Amino acid sequence: MIKTDILIIGAGPTGLFTVFEAGLLKLKCHLIDALPQPGGQCSEIYPKKPIYDIPGFPEILAGDLTNNLLEQGKQFEPGFTLGERAETIEKLDDGSFIVTTNKGTKHHAPVVAIAGGLGSFEPRKPLIENISYYEDKGVEYFIKDPEVYRNKKVVISGGGDSALDWSIFLADVAEEVTLVHRRNEFRGALDSVEKVQELKLLGKINLVTPAEVTALHGNSKLEGVTIIKDGEKILHEADHFIPLFGLSPKLGPIGDWGLGIEKNAIKVDTLDYQTNIPGIFAIGDVNTYEGKLKLILCGFHEATLMCQSAYKIINPGKKYVLKYTTVSGVDGFDGTRKEAPKAVVQAIN
């Protein structure tokens, strides 16, 4: 039986940042994740994708963000159960919980924080008859290492941020990038759309709209695709076809825990992101409430407020006085201490 103060289900960015915020309150964390390594989608799906909306970082790769969060939290010595899925939960008479994984590992904690991102997910695949044959032979649904596409001919389908961002990124990597979208309008950020248009004018991206990839060709590997535009079939040479149509999220076993569910997300109280079951919180993309934005930085905010309520549950009747880390420094569980910079302390004094 693994015992901890806060059991975090999901080791993506929000779950990892929870370790730091809980550590400031002297609360121990243990994380469960079905993936074999921490980082969630940032590690598994797009570790080399740049992220632009993390405060203090004009640009940071998703994999580097994961590494930084792990480094930030390691002083608080979190535990990890990786490669296992949280399967069942049992509420004990004292209000605490036992969560058991699909491999039988049991975890005991007074507070459970579900930070599972989109939950279990699988890519939305286009309805192309032989697409499964070419998977891992030129068809990919995620980009893990952009160097795979160095000096290759790449066709990307999709109209969202991922399709736009990767088209822009690979324009400086691949021999040729072709972006195909079934509409002239894109769902992604306006600045990304403008950047794609600029790269099109520079001859660095082939933009084909409104159009659709309808067939794949090649013997032992992908050699080309059929694109239909204005009723005309175009045979286009390609080494790789990357359909980026998003993910189909599934809560998995968590959906059977008696939580309030709305559109495959967990309903929470915005006071502290607690669910309808006292002691169980949901933070990050897995939750829903009026005005919800599925952004990493919003997950960080939710984790911070959640930890304050978790402290009250774990330490009933004990008052915590918020102290800024610039003044108080940070005490790690390993006995190390990071002091606040002297200049900051003097200025405040």
Give pLDDT, residue 40: 80
Query: Would you identify the CATH topology of the domain 2-121+247-342?
Result: FAD/NAD(P)-binding domain (3.50.50)
Whether residue 273 has pLDDT greater than 90: yes
Separation CA 171–CA 200 (nearest Å): 10
pTM above 0.85, yes or no: no
Q: Which residues contact 292 (CB under 8 A, 6 or more apart)?
A: 298
Residue 218 or residue 337, greater confidence: 218
DSSP code string of 66-129:
HHHHHHHHGGG--EEEES--EEEEEE-TTS-EEEEETT--EEEESEEEE--TTBEEEEPPP--T
Q: What pLDDT digit, counting tens, does each position of 227-250 carry? A: 999 999 999 999 999 999 876 666
CATH number of 125-243: 3.50.50.60
Question: Under DSSP, is residue 246 helix (H, G, I), strand (E, B) or coil?
Answer: coil
Tokens describing residue 59:
């640009």
User: Which among 58, 34, 54 has a CA at the least distance from the CA of 117?
Assistant: 34
Q: Name the band, by pLDDT with cuts 50, 70 and 90, for residue 109.
A: very high
How does the average pLDDT of the chain come out, rounded?
Answer: 89
Q: What is the pLDDT of residue 323?
A: 64
CA dist 177 → 128, 140, 166, 210, 225 (Å): 21, 15, 10, 17, 13
Q: What is the pLDDT of residue 341?
A: 52
Look at 117 and 280; give whichever has higher pLDDT: 280
Query: Across the strands, what pairs with 6?
Result: 29, 111
Range with the lowest mean pLDDT among 58-67, 75-84, 265-274, 325-334? 325-334
pLDDT band at 85 (very low <50, low <70, confident <90, very high): confident
Contacts of 337 (CB under 8 A, 6+ apart): 329, 330, 331
340-347 contact pairs (CB < 8 A, 24+): none
Residue 343 has pLDDT above 50, yes or no: no
Range(s) within the chain of domains with CATH label 3.50.50.60? 2-121+247-342, 125-243
pLDDT at 331: 72
Model pLDDT, residue 221: 96
pLDDT tens for each residue of 132-163: 999 989 999 888 789 999 999 999 999 988 89
User: What are 24's two structure tokens?
Assistant: 């400031």
Q: How much is the pLDDT for 339?
A: 66
> Which residues are CB-contacts of 104 (< 8 A; sequence separation ≥ 6)?
none
Contacts of 173 (CB under 8 A, 6+ apart): 146, 147, 149, 150
Tokens of 103: 């491999």
Q: Confidence class of residue 349 from pLDDT cuts 50, 70 and 90?
A: very low
Mean predicted confidence (pLDDT) in 305-317: 95
Residue 122: its pLDDT value, please? 66
CA distance linking residue 119 with residue 85, whole number of Å? 10
| Residue 53, pLDDT score | 87
pLDDT score of 268: 97
For residue 44, pLDDT over 80 is answered with no
Distance of alpha carbon 162 from alpha carbon 141, whole angstroms: 11
Residues 6+ apart with CB under 8 A from 214: 128, 226, 227, 228, 233
**Are the beta carbons of 334 and 77 closer than 8 angstroms?**
yes
Label residue 195 exposed, middle or buried (CB < 10 Å: 0-12, 13-18, 19+).
middle
